[in-house]
Amino acid sequence: MDVAQTTDKVTRELRGAVMLITVDHPPVNALGAEVRRGLLAAIEAADQDPAVHAVLIVGAGSHFIGGADIREFGKTRTPPALPEVCDRIEACRKPVIAAIHGAALGGGLEVALAAHYRLAVDGAKLGLPEVQLGLMPGAGGTQRTPRLIGVVPALDIALTGRHVGAAEALALGLVDRLGESGDTLAEGLAYAQALLASHAAPRRSRDAQGLADVAAVKAALAAARADTAKKSRGLFSPMKIIDAVEAGLDHGFDQGMKTERALFLECIDSPQRAGLIHAFFAEREVSKTPELAAAKPRKIAHVGVVGGGTMGAGIAIAVLDAGLPVTMIERDTPSLERGRQNIEKVYDSLVARGRMTPDAKAATLARWNGSTQYEALASVDLVIEAVFEEMAVKHGVFAELDRVCKPGAVLATNTSYLDIDEIAARTSRPADVIGLHFFSPANVMKLLEVVVPAQVSADVVATAFALAKTLRKTAVRAGVCDGFIGNRILGVYKTAADHLMADGASPYQIDKALRDFGYPMGPYQVSDLAGGDIGWATRKRRAATRDPRARYVQIADRLCERGWFGQKTGRGFYLYPDGARTGTPDPEVETIVDAERARAGIAPRTFTDAEIVRRYLAAMINEGANVLHERIALRPLDIDVTFLYGYGFPRYRGGPMHYADTVGLAKVLADIREFAADDPLFWRPSPLLVDLVERDATFASLNQSFQSK
Ligand code: NAD
């Protein structure tokens, strides 16, 4: 047996007449420079060696090839480039087979597409997920995929980044054969032998005929452009993917490859790529906290929920969907019945839309039980309180939980603003009390703020993160303060928007400016969707503690006094005639805004959209810096993830703190100082921001990793 190390990370070995090339670069065989070099050398050697009649490429460990090494992006590129490697594989004069198990994603799939024959075993995941990182396939993915399987499925795969399983890959023609036994190597070798026995020749994807019907392909490209303009508004790379496919159609494979490469490099250099990759890494880091490094989670097999309103029902659904049983407590039988109905309504609608079978609904609801007696919670491992946002009510509930719950049970509150240290201190077991701040609708929204009070034990924090994982939520660690990370910062930038509105910008211009920045909705559309009454109640509650010197804009109060709470009442900042879900601007609101400006003695001025964005973001970033300074968030990336997952911040901008770095902190601080000339009380530069600017440092420099146990 001839075993030659082409590099540390790619080995070749002659198996009869078949050269076995194994990529061995744990954990996912990513295509770093050494792997690319090794693959190139191995295919070159196989092509030259007369003893070799066929080539089999496999991955060692759990995957074929997971993709590019994304840590190389933005750095100097070391040759050989992947397109060169793929072209060499495709040009090989002997049949090349890729045998795929685990992930064949991005560059990994492109290597497989450059092979002449493909086999996949059960559990294989094929895909071109580059688009999710602001990128596009850069090693022939936009050229070989449509030729091989047709333009419509190829664009679907490249524009969504979704994973395709082995069976679907076979149906699409992305692979030629399934390896039934699951033993990738044995299946791959058997396939190679079969091909040799039938004298199969190299069969190159570049020559496949998927683009032959030019008129049909043109129509599909036009449709994809229209769809992408709607669905991927503001995103750079999806249109480039379509451009690359079109270039290959118009000018042939080789020119298509050149265009693809040029567009790929444009994507690499785009700020969107940096933002999306920051988001990708931030999402992985966010679940690593100091507590997780110190402790192991408690076991959670049964969850209690107190309150069956908007949040309690949503939380119960999230827990039921994760396969755990839920015991719900309500204050009386009719409220409990309503709580049960709130849950059932959601499942009924899934069944009506064909997204759930009646049997699955019945099985899920069988895990739910309810009671008006707290004793029913005696055996739960964790309980989440979601009753009215009033301290006295919360105290009453926690006294009951303290009385009935078993030792070691985690007692969590879903409060939005209240002081969890105070809630914990009133129990006999403050080490077990934590905040689990879900977002509405709790069964849909990905974000979970884990609010860590002073006395809580590390294993309870670890338990909260483990629960988040079970519920498929993204958990962010927050400290105790009014509004924690998200709502506290929201309160400040929403105030900045209100100041803009009072000073001359219409709510419609503000919403549009922020949509153009990349938000799915502007703040006044969000307010109409959530219900203006919710913010109104909070403002009334806070009226007594508001700084009397602080500017207070009353426009929203004027609307609420008229009962205009938004979508649910048919009008708010916008009009929603006949139950419409998209609002239209309301001249009467503009009259009210004018009247409020006059009453406050404001001479309205105009703002450009860019000025609106500048003020809104400066307020967000400055309060973000305060939240960091007070250690409410431990790292800037915790704030970024909070806003990406809970507040609609455009993912391609990476989150507010990442965005601040891209603008330049000195520029942000200069803006804040400029705005402070008119309102020094509101625009107070955060000490942390000032410090970073003085040190010429970035928020990114404050991101750190905590190792998990
Ligand atoms: P809700 O009014 O819809 O529901 C509250 C439920 O609690 C009601 O069904 C009520 O009957 C029940 N309840 C009241 N007192 C009780 C008691 N002593 N024992 C048992 N049940 C009792 O309110 P919601 O919107 O679901 O909010 C609940 C909590 O979640 C609040 O703390 C709120 O701040 C927080 N929260 C709300 C949102 C949101 O968007 N609505 C988001 C995050 C957090």
For residue 3, name the pLDDT band (cuts at 50, 70, 90).
Answer: very low
Query: Closest Cα to residue 706, out of 296, 280, 293, 281?
Result: 293
pTM: 0.91
Query: Going by CA atoms, what residue is nearest to atom 25 of ligand 1?
Result: 310
Q: Which of 315, 340, 385, 416 to mutate to test the pocket of ligand 1 (most atoms within 8 A of CB)?
A: 416
Task: Compute the distance between CA of residue 274 and CA of residue 268 in angstroms, rounded to an integer.
Answer: 8
Residue in this structure with the two tokens 């609106």, named with its chain if needed:
612
At 149, phi and psi to the nearest 5? Answer: -120, 0
CA 317 to chain centre: 21
Task: Compute the distance between CA of residue 668 and CA of residue 688 in angstroms, rounded to an integer.
Answer: 13
Q: Which helix (H) or strand (E) holds 121?
A: strand 117-121
Atom of ligand 1 nearest to the CA of 393: 18
Given the residues 90, 130, 246, 291, select the one marked as catalytic: 130
Q: Which of 310, 346, 446, 490 to mutate to test the pocket of ligand 1 (most atoms within 8 A of CB)?
A: 310
Atom of ligand 1 nearest to the CA of 329: 20
Q: Which of 388, 450, 647 to mutate to test the pocket of ligand 1 (most atoms within 8 A of CB)?
A: 388
pLDDT for 93-103, tens place per residue?
999 999 999 99
Cis peptide before 153 (omega within 30 of 0): no
* Alpha helical stretches, state H, 74-164: 82-91, 107-114, 141-149, 151-160
Task: Compute the distance between CA of residue 110 and CA of residue 102 in angstroms, rounded to an integer.
Answer: 15
pLDDT for 54-85, tens place per residue?
999 999 999 999 998 877 877 788 999 999 99
Question: In angstroms, what is the span from residue 389 Cα to ligand 1's centroid?
Answer: 7
Question: In angstroms, what is the span from residue 390 Cα to ligand 1's centroid?
Answer: 9
Determine the pLDDT at residue 708: 53
For residue 652, name the pLDDT band (cuts at 50, 70, 90).
Answer: very high
Q: Is the pLDDT of residue 2 over 60?
A: no
pLDDT for 239-266, tens place per residue?
999 999 999 999 999 999 999 999 999 9
What CA–CA distances, in Å, run from 617 to 276, 318, 499, 534?
18, 32, 14, 23
Contact 618, 672 (CB under 8 A): yes
Report the amino acid identity of residue 164: V
For 241-256, give the secondary structure using H, E and C. HHHHHHHHHHHCHHHH
Query: Going by CA atoms, what residue is nearest to atom 30 of ligand 1?
Result: 386
Q: Which of 5-19, 376-390, 508-522 has the lowest mean pLDDT?
A: 5-19
Residue in this structure with the two tokens 């905040």, named with its chain if needed:
435
Question: In angstroms, what is the span from residue 175 Cα to ligand 1's centroid?
Answer: 52
Task: Compute the distance between CA of residue 19 and CA of residue 56 in angstroms, rounded to an integer.
Answer: 6
Q: Counting Cβ atoms within 10 Å, is residue 345 exposed (0-12), middle (13-18) or buried (19+)? A: exposed
For residue 579, name the pLDDT band (cuts at 50, 70, 90).
Answer: confident
Q: Where are the domains of the chain?
A: 4-269, 300-484, 522-604
For 31-71, give the secondary structure using H, E and C. ECHHHHHHHHHHHHHHHHCCCCCEEEEEECCCCCECCECHH
Determine the pLDDT at residue 6: 59
Task: Compute the distance between CA of residue 37 and CA of residue 92 in angstroms, rounded to an integer.
Answer: 16
Q: Give the class (CATH, top level) of 300-484.
A: alpha beta
Q: Which residues contact 611 (CB under 8 A, 6 or more apart)?
A: none
Query: Closest Cα to residue 514, out of 234, 207, 231, 174?
Result: 234
Query: Going by CA atoms, what residue is nearest to atom 43 of ligand 1?
Result: 439
Task: Compute the distance between CA of residue 487 and CA of residue 557 in angstroms, rounded to an integer.
Answer: 19
- Sheet of 125-127, strand order: 103-105, 125-127, 164-165
Q: Which residues contact 524 (CB under 8 A, 6 or more apart)?
A: 497, 507, 508, 510, 511, 572, 573, 574
Q: What is the CB < 6 Å shell around ligand 1? A: 306-312, 329-331, 335, 386-389, 393, 396-397, 414-416, 438-440
CATH fit for domain 522-604, picks 3.30.980.10, 3.40.50.720, 1.10.1040.50, 3.40.47.10: 1.10.1040.50
Determine the pLDDT at residue 175: 98
* CATH code 3.10.20.30 for 4-269: no
Task: Compute the distance between CA of residue 157 and CA of residue 378 in angstroms, rounded to an integer.
Answer: 49
Determine the pLDDT at residue 72: 80
Report the amino acid identity of residue 668: V
Given the residues 90, 110, 260, 330, select the one marked as catalytic: 110
Q: Which of 329, 342, 387 to mutate to test the pocket of ligand 1 (most atoms within 8 A of CB)?
A: 387
Q: Is the pLDDT of residue 707 over 90?
A: no
Query: Going by CA atoms, what residue is nearest to atom 39 of ligand 1?
Result: 440
Q: Is the pLDDT of residue 542 over 90?
A: no
Q: Output the six-digit token pair for 378.
A: 């005696």
CB atoms within 10 A of CB 677: 8
pLDDT for 369-382, tens place per residue?
999 999 999 999 99
Residue 449 is among the residues annotated as catalytic for this protein: no
pLDDT for 461-478, tens place per residue?
999 999 999 999 999 999
Report the amino acid identity of residue 354: G
* Alpha helical stretches, state H, 92-138: 107-114
Residue 110 is among the residues annotated as catalytic for this protein: yes
pLDDT for 346-395, tens place per residue?
999 999 999 999 999 999 999 999 999 999 999 999 999 999 999 999 99
Question: In angstroms, what is the span from residue 408 Cα to ligand 1's centroid?
Answer: 25
Atom of ligand 1 nearest to the CA of 530: 40
pLDDT for 93-143, tens place per residue?
999 999 999 999 999 999 999 999 999 999 999 999 999 999 999 999 999
Strands 164-165 and 125-127: antiparallel
Atom of ligand 1 nearest to the CA of 387: 7
Determine the pLDDT at residue 709: 47
